[in-house]
Amino acid sequence: MENEPQSPVQSPVQPPAQSAETPPQSPEQPLPADVAAPQQEPIVLSKLYPDAKNDLDALFPDPQMKELLKEVHKNRQGNQRFIKRLNLSKIEEDDDDSPSDP
């Protein structure tokens, strides 16, 4: 046990060669997520949620939380529009199915 053979030190795995189609990324280039989110005006939660009883901006000062709440607001609006379209199409189907009495 004293003279156990040591495993050879493995060299780090070399990354595959970049193809000519994709340019190599340097560490100083911003990530796509950073590019997609340029400097924006600050999110004011009191404008997004005017019916809130508390000051949401004071409750959630974290920018990531504000971004999440803004996304929730957009999703809610999209859901409400979707439900309205469903209700309108249901109303139109009911009108088409009902027999008209002359």
Cα–Cα distance list, 56 to 17, 53, 64, 67, 68 (Å)? 50, 9, 14, 13, 13
Mean pLDDT of 67-93: 90
The mean predicted confidence, pLDDT, of the chain is 74
Q: Which residue has the tokens 């803004």?
A: 70
The residues near 17 (Cβ < 8 Å, ≥ 6 apart) are none
Structure tokens at 19: 């193809």
Least confidently predicted of 20-29, 51-60, 92-101: 20-29
Q: Which residue has the tokens 């939380």?
A: 65
pLDDT of 80 reads 94
* pTM score: 0.50
Nearest to 37 by CA among 73, 64, 76: 64
pLDDT of 87 reads 84
